[in-house]
Structure 1
Amino acid sequence: MVQRLDRRMLLMTGLGALAAGCALGPEAAATNGADDLQGLLDHRILRQRAANAAVIGVLSPAGRRIYSARRPEADETYPLGDRTIFEIASLTKVFTALLLAAEVVDGRMGLDDPLQDYLPDGVVAPSFEGRAITLTDLATHGAALPLRPNNLANGAADAPDKYAGYTLDDLYRGLPDYRLGYAPGSQFRYSNLGFALLGQAIARREAMSFDAVLRRRVTGPLGLDDTTLSEDPEKARRRARGHDLYLDPVGAGGPSALSPAYGLRSTAHDILRLLDLFLDGRGPSHLRGAARLMLATDRPGDDDTTRMALGWRRTTAHGETYYWSNGSGDGSRCFMGFNPARGVAVVALADAASGGGLDDIGRRVLDPAQEVDAAVVPAPEFVTLPEEMLLRATGRFEYAPDDAFDITRGVTGLVVSSGPIQIVIRPTSPSVYASAMMPGVIFEFDGVEAGPARGLTLHQDGQSFYYRRV
């Protein structure tokens, strides 16, 4: 069966779907810390232009290695290496889950505790037919909550710094409005909202800010001096400037009540120290126990090969089992993971938002059978259209009952949504749209010259599929 860019394919947020003949297979190189990693990184940055700069760090039985690459035309002067500070986006969730596990190990909270126990008086958490949301549900994307709160000032996928200014009052005021569609714990649904509620629950338990309790319990004891939620002016010269999908500079993200889901800044040096806690147990005793507890949890994941531990995805493929997390911010894309059986760990940090960043290269370190995308796809040449023309391409388009897109107006273009997954597309002509997130994938709209599109043809990997307006 030919795979289409439906809700399942949107989960494959690489630099584009792997085209035949455009992927490096396991025979191309052995990359568990080998010199070939530098070649893959150079190709990704210099030829595929996935970011202006990036750093990869690897732990292996052979030791610790750092790789870096920067486009020579990039107007950047900060030193690039293991101490370069990046926004790490959703890698933050692993730190939040580790904090929860530390609280549980010390007997201060319980994995089965209901979220309701940690909410302000008068705030009621949603439930499903009597099944309450627990802390484990929140830490495994199993709470049946949406990706983002429904009361953001601007919740468009491409809105810059969309969470800045979102307060605890906003978070709790919106909570009773959610209606769960199934029992918490029974399905995977990725949720920034869920991890924000988890982090704030821990903060309420400890009667201090999330930032303070994270420093006291996790980042401080591990010696992660550069892993913070706030900007430090003294470290500004080491901070990687973020870039959007089009490699235009963007500002740093601001703090909010949702920061436990996305807000940390860190370095390859610090994240390798975190990974060493999981790989070799290097760290304080309460965090060693917390790390073991995290990996013992088993909940539904987002595909047939993946399950959820606390904060981590656990993937089994090609005879390998490894743990990983990734994330995209307004100006960064990050990946980290470890393979206990091989004794390897990797972190990959890029200074630009993208569909896949360095994820496949990072996975290759953990699983030598992982293919790496080598396709060099020309960047789309976007055009500017009148607002009326853009709106003609919005609506719901269906290929089959279980394969449909919702297309809405965003800030920088149109947003294609399938479940919680979203990509941004922009016009290259009045009827053709492309995405910098997934180069080579084309949306061609039917009838937009005369009025609302009657349908769209999705072009991917030499295949075409027609979605009619519904």
Structure 2
Amino acid sequence: MTGNPFRALAAIVASAALVHAEKPLAEAAAPLAKELPAGCMVTGESVGGKRSFAVLGKAEPEGVAAEKRVFEIGSISKVFTGLLLADAVLEKKVRLDSTLKEVLGKKQDFADPRVGEITLLQLATHTGGLPRLPDNMGPNPDAEKDPYAKYDRKDMRAFLAKAKLAGPPPYPASYSNFGMGLLGDLLADLSGKTWEATVKEKITGPLGMRDTVESLSAEQTKRLAPPYQGAIRGTSWTFQAMAGAGALRSTAADMVKFGEALLEPEKTPKPAMIRSMLEARAPYADMGAEIGLGIIIGKLDGGKEYIHSGGTGGYRSVLQVLPGKKLVRVVLINNDAIPAENVMAAAREDAKPAALPEEKLPEAELEAFTGVYEMGPTARFTVLRREAALWVRLTGQPFAPVVFIGKDRFRYTVVPAELQFQREDGKVSSLVLHQNGREIPAKRSEAELPVILFAKEAELKAYAGEYEMTSGQIFTITVNGDSLMAQLTGQPPVVVFQTKKGYFEYDVVKAALEFEKDGDGKVTGLVLHQNGEHRARRK
């Protein structure tokens, strides 16, 4: 289950600003839908109250209207958990600063008293210091077909009892499925009902969202778009205690209706609850934004944006609300091969920036910009010099070249985006990425610049193939241009970077792949270095 980074900050350099036009979401989705190996995309838009829907790709089952097709919406469920917290506070059942120790009372022990001091607000804003997932879900829950199915309240409370923090909360916001799942379970327990029943009573019932549920009826099951992971049929996810983190299913019609409620809370039966959820509560540096009660709050082209994405085993989704434009956009995909956010980005037709002369800087001057620039706890830009040019990566992305266009500003050559470096006392101290109407800042850190061995596509192809682990999981290694991609069963492909000959490191987690060769130099297997060594044999 995923999130999505962005935020707009200071003024753009006017002479180099990127300009854009917009096109309908369905039009933007059409070419991307053709890339899906299976499944379809459904788009929904509300522009000034006028709704439109479309389905593109290989839609199944047949005969179901675009807006009525049911999809898992994953982490968008967190927004509903945030609304439940807002409602419980308004009803004076809890406070935003109520602590776990207060809410759980004598029913819960804490090995670390600081865990007991985490507040409900900190759970809703990912600032409690809890991990993305607890360590008692199994050795590799991300690779499970239905990872949350067996995790119950007993497991959740057992993890809380032993969890330890490095210091007292709050922490810088860092995405935690566990924290939001815990919040949902606490609020359900408080209501004396299940999380699903509480959502129906407090949110979907009053808003008339009849197709937004955790458990499908027989009729809704007939409208469910089946999950796919690439060309392979996936598995629907089920939840127990962690329902508040990602259990909901919905339709484009319901999600557009929900977005309209966020646009105009006063027109709903629950205006105070919605307004409270939408209030910015904490900075979210990893996403270049702020966060309300479960909702990401950023800026797009200078205007406010409410947004959240979702991803389960065979689904991708995103909800975007732009109050200044009275615009709601929804993308639902029953395949994990393409992020739903890509469709949103494709709806922006970024004009080719004004031609500015490319300037050459001496290598010594380029060195002034190299370094690691941190957005937040888990997101960073790495800027290094490759021969006579700067190359940049954002966590989870390949390196890309940038060219100097003057006044400490560089332009990407592969996408319409620019980097504005900033100085303090003459020394480069930070940068701002300008892309897709957003401005993402990052501060220069003291982290050591990694050594990257850039290889050509032909050399990387020697590693491509499938590698089977003793657990039966498969590593699929592919080449995308000059980047090596690694995908473990049940997970999306991730770029890895060569730091030693045949040794490739991840930058999204602390892990590495070391390839093994036989006497003839042929690649025969790999070793995953992550919490020990795990071997895989080439098929």
How would you bin the TM-score normalised by the shorter chain?
A: 0.7 to 0.9
Given that residues 41 and 68 in structure 1 are in contact (C-alpha distance below 8 angstroms), is that contact kept between their aligned partners in structure 2? Answer: no
**Residue of 326, 330, 333 corresponding to 2:309:** 326
Q: Is 1:114–2:99 an aligned residue pair?
A: yes
Confirm or deny that 1:186 pairs with 2:174: no
Is it true that 1:272 corresponds to 2:264 in the alignment? no
Alpha-carbon shift at residue 211 of structure 1 (Å): 1.6
Give the C-alpha shift of residue 56 in structure 1: 1.2
What CA deviation, in whole Å up to 9, does each residue of 1:404-433 have, x standing for no partner? xxxxxx86445xxxxxxxxxxx2359x965
Q: Give the fraction of aligned pairs with identical amino acids, expressed as a percent.
A: 24
Say yes or no: does 1:52 pair with 2:39: yes
In the TM superposition, what is the alpha-carbon distance from 1:252 to its structure 2 partner?
1.7
1:62 Cα shift?
6.0
Q: For the Cα contact (< 8 Å) 2:185–2:243, is it kept in 1?
A: no
Q: What is the CA deviation profile of residues 12-57 of structure 1, one whole-angstrom value per residue up to 9, with x for unaligned ones?
A: 79xxxxxxxxxxx854x423xx3xx3232111110x3276201111
Choose 167-176 or 299-308, whichever is displaced more.
299-308
CA contact (8 A) 1:346 1:365 kept: no
Q: Distance in 1 between matches of 2:347 and 2:28?
A: 11
Does structure 2 conserve the Cα–Cα contact (< 8 Å) formed by 1:166 and 1:257?
yes
The 2-side partners of 1:88 and 1:112 are apart by 29
1:383 alignment partner in structure 2: 465
Whether the 8 Å contact between 1:226 and 1:267 is mirrored in structure 2 is yes
TM-score of the pair, normalised by structure 2: 0.64
Indicate the RMSD between aligned Cα atoms, in angstroms.
Answer: 3.5
2:275 aligned with 1:292, yes or no?
yes
Contact conserved, 2:32 with 2:343, CA < 8 A, in 1?
no
- Alignment of 1:159 onto 2:153: no
Q: Deviations over 1:181-229 (max 9, x none)?
A: 2432331111111111111111121122212211111111111111111
Q: Which has the larger radius of gyration?
A: 2
1:200 paired with 2:185, answer: yes
Q: Equivalent of 1:315, from 295, 298, 302? A: 298
**2:53 is aligned with 1:66:** yes
- After superposition, residues 71-470 of structure 1 pair within 5 angstroms as 71=58, 76-77=61-62, 79-119=64-104, 121-125=106-110, 132-153=117-138, 155-244=140-229, 246-281=230-265, 284-285=268-269, 287-303=270-286, 305-354=288-337, 357-362=339-344, 370=436, 383-387=465-469, 412-414=473-475, 426-428=476-478, 433-435=485-487, 441=495, 445-446=502-503, 448-449=516-517
Q: Which amino acid aligns with 2:309?
A: N
Aligned-partner residue type, residue 242 of structure 2: L
Moved more, 252-261 or 438-447: 438-447
Distance (Å, rounded) in 2 between the aligned partners of 1:118 and 1:219: 25
How much does 1:125 deviate?
4.9
Cα distance in structure 2, aligned partners of 1:92 and 1:187: 22
Q: Give, in whole Å, the separation in 2 of the partners of 1:279 and 1:292.
A: 10
Q: CA deviation at 1:64?
A: 1.1
Native 8 Å contact 1:126 1:180 kept in 2: no
Amino acid in structure 2 at the alignment position of 1:344? L
CA contact (8 A) 1:78 1:238 kept: no
Per the normalisation by structure 1, the TM-score is 0.73
Q: C-alpha displacement at 1:255, in angstroms?
A: 2.5
Please, which moves more after superposition, 233-242 or 82-91?
233-242
- SS of residue in 2 equivalent to 1:175: helix
Q: Aligned AA for 1:361?
A: V
Distance in 2, matches of 1:144 and 1:232, equals 37
State the one-letter code of the partner of 1:256. Answer: Q
SS for the counterpart of 2:321 is strand
CA 1:321–1:126 in structure 2 vs 1: closer, same or farther (change >3 Å)?
A: farther
Amino acid at match of 2:517: E
Structure 1 residues 338 and 411: CA distance shift in structure 2, 3 A: farther
SS at match of 1:57: strand
Deviates more, 1:118-127 or 1:433-442: 433-442
State the Cα distance separating 1:120 from its structure 2 match: 6.3
SS in 1 for 2:42: strand
d(CA) in 1 for partners of 2:318, 2:216: 21
1:43 has 2:31 as partner: yes
Change (3 A) 1:280 1:371: closer
In structure 2, what is the equivalent of residue 423 of structure 1?
Answer: none
CA-CA distance at 1:315 after TM superposition = 1.4
* In structure 2, distance between residues paired with 1:213 and 1:453: 48
Q: Which runs of 5+ in 1 are unaligned?
A: 1-9, 14-24, 373-379, 389-409, 415-425, 457-470
Any conservation in 1 of the 2:110–2:160 contact (CA below 8 Å)?
A: yes
What secondary structure, in the 3-state scheme, does the structure 2 residue paired with 1:352 have?
coil
- Structure 1 residue 117, shift from structure 2 partner: 2.4
**Which piece of structure 1 moves more, 57-66 or 97-106?**
57-66
Q: Give yes or no for contact 1:45–1:51 (8 Å, CA) kept in 2.
A: no
